Structure 1
Amino acid sequence: MSSSTDFQGLFDAAPISLWLEDYSQLKQLFDSWRAEGVEDLESHLRADPTRLSTCIRCLKVLQVNQQTLQQFGAETQQELIDALDKVFSDDIEQGMVREFQMLWDGVLDFSNQSVNYTLSGQRLDIRIHVRVLPGHESRWDRVMVSLQDISASVRDLRQLSFSERYARSLFELSPVSLWVEDFSGVKELMDAVRASGIQDFRTFLDVHPDFVSRCMAKIRVLDVNQHTLAMFAARDKDELISRQDDVFRGEMRASFAEQLMDLWHGKLHQVREVVNYALDGELINIHMQFAVMPGHEAAWDRVLVSLVDITARRKAEAYLEYLGTHDSLTRLRNRAYYNEELNRMTRRGVWPMSIVAMDLNGLKQVNDSQGHAAGDALLRRVGEVLTKAGEELPGICMARTGGDEFVALIPGADERAAQHLMSRIENIMELNNQFYPGQKLSLSMGYATCKAPAEVEAAIHRADQLMFRNKKDFYAESGLDRRQ
């Protein structure tokens, strides 16, 4: 069997698309352009789009193998050649310019990636390899072109790229703050502690509180999303990452210690409420979810932390709690809180304890003559006076227990302390009356002191009786009838 027969057999049986082509007309065209002074082929082709078409027409297909016919859906070679305008669509122009530039530069063996189409219109992503056969370098009259169908891998890469862009979009556009962090340094520190024989990690943290700070310093923030920047008032990611100490401070140290305790016990998914700070100093109450990502459990080198701002919720809860323990008009403690505090102080109070009973004078007359709005204004003034008066007494409970009734519980206070409080109330009330001309603010007061739980009820009664006696004197001196 001759070598030409061998070549033909190998050519026809090759499992890859092979094209034997004649580029001699292309070389002649290039030689003529060089003679005309053309130096930059790409610029020359782009200056006149018809020149690229002329180059393509110079390529002559001599033979294709069976794999080529099968790949492009052609029955015969002639059918394929007659339909080359369908095979080489507009998509290949950029690729052809690169290939012609390689030949122009004298590179006679090169690869490229391009797009062809089957005769039925199906897209084929191909890797093309062009080689001028040995012995034909001077004329380019025998060129072997191989086409490898890489459509499947291109589709996979395109799908992977889409998935990555989709995941990145979900990350960046998430309406919650997302942080990707590296805790591998934290794990190394904790593994070293465990290897040293420590079993009671909580006691270890109590004895070595600096270990928490060391762990915090080992956390590396790898990425954050756009919502995080807005939530923490950061201009960009670099600013936020470089100022982590401004974000994770104060109360965060205690909560991070608890987080380390959970990690010590193997809890790689955690949920807790913490406090962070924005870069402008604003406190942020946060619901945090912490999770070591799947596949990274051995090193903790990829951790996803999601943060939801619950500051508004916490403020609402605090306000509801405030309403449950405070009188909305005077902003003093309400009767329910007073009763609980009285029971608590009676059980575990600091002795002696003093009680100051107070009653607003003339409230009924103001309500009847000027309306309840004026009476409410008077009550608010009482709240201002009593709040200011009790500022210097730790643990005091200043409460409104009825319409015009008020009481102060003062733990650890004897008679002198109770008298001092009443004197302070009188002085502040005098200043208040100067600030609010018109209706004068007046309180009847009485006090008593007890030294044991069994004496509390009697002390309250004595304080009330003394207050009522003073109130009776007030109405007698002012000529007013308390019942009117």
Structure 2
Amino acid sequence: MPETFEADVFNLAPVAMWIEDFSGVKRQFDIWRGQGITDIRSYLREDLSRVQECSQKIRVLSVNEKTLELFAARDFDHLLSNMDRIFRDDMLEGHITELEALWEGKARFSSHAVNYSLSGKRLDIQLRGVILPGHEETFERILITTEDVTEREEARRLERSNRRYAESMFKHSPVSLWVEDFSRIKRMIDDLKDGGIVDFRVFMDVHPEFVHQCMSEIRVIEVNKATLDLFCAPDEQTLLRRLRDVFRDEMDKPFREQLIDLWNGNLFHQREVINYALDGTERHVLLQFSVFPGHEQDWSLVQVALTDITARKKAEAYLEYLGKHDVLTKLYNRAFYTDELNRLERKSLRPVSAIIIDLNGLKVANDTLGHDAGDKLLRRLGEVLNGVVASPNSAARIGGDEFAILMPGADKQVAANLVETIYELLKINNQFYSASPLGISIGVATSEPGETLEAMVRRADMSMYEVKKAHYAEASLKAMPTG
């Protein structure tokens, strides 16, 4: 024990302290220098047995009470006889740093190491060493402190683990995630409030350019892989460069509502929006916006999650289509026709015309050629009517072989013109299907003042039946044998 140290100060120190003799290491260094070794780190890493050789030349002269306590040793002899249990596993790698510092002539060194107590507990150690004055040439007395930093290092490992976990969750999430900075938008909104603006919605009505300005102030910090996949982007740089292709057309309206949410202090909200992939295709997404905890005052870190609901929207649209359309003919169905008739009844727009059409010979085709043949006739008539009827008019299949066209605002002449167009297109269609020509019976009516539309449709229906009756009477005459 050096005379400069008081025994009680050494023993009562709150940090584990060792007095060690490194003179054997110094002699080994001299041998290596004589052999021409210059890069000690590379030389030691090349063969860790050289580190082991140096470690074996270190003599522990004394330790304090804190050292015995830290390493769960009964006494100094118990500690020395079990040094191989304390310094093991990857200890040699950490020891290289200390040896390198001494090789380079430094009087002080420090490193992080892993030791083990004699009870088997893993210890993270902050090791510091200093050559005591007067021993710089021989390394005969070096003071080593080994501070237990296990708790700190475990916290760091946990923090690193949590960060990696969060990063993995972000990068590999199946949902499109964006980390963005809305701080400039926060300042713009605060400036408006400070300026006395109370009704933000009215303000944006008067100043629509404010919405576009806010959109331009969003800074995208990072996106994940699911985002690149969703928007068909080859990489993040390409996506960020082409954001105007992603957020366009009707995006202003939902973003405006998002700004109103933020104005009202709603920092967590969601809504359905339409974006566009870089190949131009639509993406229906559920947008979920949230300000990260701790950033409520400046909005400098927010997350936007976009869940692709395109398939769901297409399914909903198809179900809605099925609710209003006849699948076979692609025309509206009877349910739509009934609703449309009721809607037009409530409107003041007059006159309204109706064209009732019956497909001749459908039953015969079904009975003699099969229902596939009948379906083909129905599809062909659907093609004809879809080709001539456009909004605000609507064509519907209202029965097995019966069709109706409603024409709001159309007088008798307009209705007659449409009937003529139907016959012209029917004629062209039959030229392509000369083996099975379509035949139809048409009845037309136009509403009279004070007449209900239901009564008007009945007149058109009756007119159609008269035409149909004449058609079958003529067909019967043709089928009768001649004398």
- Structure 1 length normalisation: TM-score? 0.94
What is aligned with 1:235? 234
Q: Pick from 413, 417, 421: which aligns with 2:414?
A: 417
Q: Which runs of 4+ in 1 moved over 6 A?
A: none
Are the counterparts in 2 of residues 180 and 221 from structure 1 also a CA contact under 8 Å?
yes
What is aligned with 1:399? 396
| 3-state SS in 1 of match to 2:385 | helix
Distance 1:181 1:7, change over 3 A: same
Distance 1:452 1:235, change over 3 A: farther
1:457 positional shift: 3.6
What is aligned with 1:205? 204
Residue correspondence of structure 1 range 333-372 to structure 2 within 5 A: 333-348=332-347, 350-372=349-371
What is aligned with 2:246? 247
What is aligned with 2:277? 278
1:10 positional shift: 1.3
Residue type of the alignment partner of 1:463:
A
1:4 positional shift: 2.9
Query: 1:454 aligned to 2:451?
Result: yes
Q: Deviations over 1:321-359 (max 9, x none)?
A: 111111122111111111110111121153222211111
Q: Deviations over 1:182-217 (max 9, x none)?
A: 211111111222222221211111111111111111
Gaps of at least 5 residues in structure 2 are none
What is aligned with 2:162? 163
Residue type of the alignment partner of 1:201:
F
Distance 1:365 1:48, change over 3 A: closer
Are the counterparts in 1 of residues 52 and 92 from structure 2 also a CA contact under 8 Å?
no
Distance 1:481 1:294, change over 3 A: farther
Q: Deviations over 1:22-43 (max 9, x none)?
A: 1112111111221222222223
| 3-state SS in 2 of match to 1:145 | strand
| 3-state SS in 2 of match to 1:403 | coil
1:452 positional shift: 4.5
Are the counterparts in 1 of residues 251 and 273 from structure 2 also a CA contact under 8 Å?
yes
Are the counterparts in 1 of residues 325 and 331 from structure 2 also a CA contact under 8 Å?
yes
Are the counterparts in 2 of residues 358 and 443 from structure 1 also a CA contact under 8 Å?
yes
Are the counterparts in 1 of residues 48 and 92 from structure 2 also a CA contact under 8 Å?
no
Distance 1:296 1:48, change over 3 A: closer
1:283 positional shift: 0.7
| 3-state SS in 1 of match to 2:399 | coil
What is aligned with 2:311? 312
Are the counterparts in 1 of residues 86 and 118 from structure 2 also a CA contact under 8 Å?
yes
What is aligned with 1:288? 287
Are the counterparts in 2 of residues 347 and 453 from structure 1 also a CA contact under 8 Å?
no
Distance 1:338 1:381, change over 3 A: same
What is aligned with 2:62? 63
Aligned residue-pair number = 479
Rounded Cα–Cα distance in structure 2 between residues aligned with 1:366 and 1:381: 14
Rounded Cα–Cα distance in structure 1 between residues aligned with 2:156 and 2:369: 82
Rounded Cα–Cα distance in structure 2 between residues aligned with 1:38 and 1:402: 101
Are the counterparts in 2 of residues 349 and 411 from structure 1 also a CA contact under 8 Å?
no
1:440 positional shift: 0.6
Rounded Cα–Cα distance in structure 2 between residues aligned with 1:47 and 1:290: 54
Distance 1:294 1:215, change over 3 A: same
Query: 1:131 aligned to 2:118?
Result: no
Residue correspondence of structure 1 range 80-91 to structure 2 within 5 A: 80-91=79-90
Rounded Cα–Cα distance in structure 1 between residues aligned with 2:478 and 2:218: 74
Query: 1:444 aligned to 2:441?
Result: yes
Residue type of the alignment partner of 1:237:
E
| 3-state SS in 2 of match to 1:251 | helix
Q: Pick from 430, 433, 455: which aligns with 1:433?
A: 430
What is aligned with 1:116? 115
1:158 positional shift: 0.7
What is aligned with 2:152? 153
Q: Deviations over 1:242-271 (max 9, x none)?
A: 222121111211111111122222222212
Query: 1:222 aligned to 2:221?
Result: yes
Task: Please give the root-mean-square deviation of Cα atoms over the aligned residues, in Å.
Answer: 2.0
Gaps of at least 5 residues in structure 1 are none
Q: Mean Cα displacement is larger for which, 435-444 or 469-478?
A: 469-478
Rounded Cα–Cα distance in structure 1 between residues aligned with 2:47 and 2:441: 105
